[in-house]
Amino acid sequence: MKVATKEIQRVEAPPLIDRIGNTPLMPLKSPNPQVQILGKAEWFNPGGSVKDRAAKFIFESAIASGQLTRDKILLDATSGNTGIAYAMIGAALGYRVALVIPANVSDERKKIVRAYGAELILSDPLEGSDGAILVARDMARDAQKYFYADQYNNPANVDAHYRTTAPEIWAATRGTITHFVCGVGTSGTLMGAGKRLRELNREIKLIEVQPADELQIIEGLKHMESAIVPGIYRAELADKQIAIETEAAYREAHRVAREEGLFVGLSAGAAIAAARKIAQEIDAGIVVAILPDGGDRYLSTALWA
């Protein structure tokens, strides 16, 4: 006698890269009761940072255009987070990845990149991200071997935030955002999200965050006056530029961990410091700050020493 068995329906989970985006807005303490500060918690992306967005769009556009094929290696310079995103997506899609990273980036970032199977080339720590760019450009001359993603000049970097980050913020705040605070490294987040938010409401103020000078080291951010300026960067887009010292970024990262239970990275600390400064300067509003990554990427650094 046959026993009737119920057919088991297989449910496939969405691909890993479909999990990128739709990160939450976290309320943060504000020094002004009339101003709400919200942090966009980008460490909720599967690769742990805001850079998942750009890496996804860069991969997809390069594959669609035929620039990245199975016989080529995706190559780029990175301070860590974009590299992790490239390595993760490359592993998921079956593409090889090679990354030039300054030797002094956190041990966590280097170990994560290697865990995904990407090739790691360490550049001079004293030359920072600019030194990594120069090494990557030299390697990219071998066009038969490499597809040079060039996140600092790739329009897909901007497009990622124009099409995802800004619409998410607009929807989550129901169009009530008054100020957008964002640090600049490649500048893709500010250029893309800022442009789209401006289109949605011309009154939204765009606030650009940079290290106070070339001696202030905030991993992931560039002091544009002393650095190789990304081709996608437009200085005229922002309404205001706020210069943050490394110590101020440290203080805010420590404060939100101990007072608000949010474990954030150094560039997030800088963004929060800038957002609080804006809150003290305006009468009322809703300030949204991009928090690029979590504090776990910095455990081996001076931030948590």
The residues carrying an active-site annotation are 51, 267
C-alpha closest to that of 253 among 240, 266, 244? 266
Give the residue carrying structure tokens 């990845």. Answer: 97
203 class by beta-carbon count within 10 Å (0-12 exposed, 13-18 middle, 19+ buried) = exposed
Do 59 and 74 touch, CB atoms closer than 8 A?
yes
C-alpha closest to that of 77 among 150, 146, 126? 150
Residues making up the chain, counted from first to last: 305
Rounded Cα gap, residues 188 and 251, in angstroms: 26
3-state secondary structure of 7: coil
How distant, in Å, are the alpha carbons of 34, 160, 182, 240, 274 from that of 278?
A: 12, 26, 12, 10, 6
**How many helices (DSSP H) and strands (DSSP E) are in the chain?**
9, 10
Q: What contacts 26, CB < 8 A, 6 or more positions away?
A: 38, 39, 40, 41, 262, 291
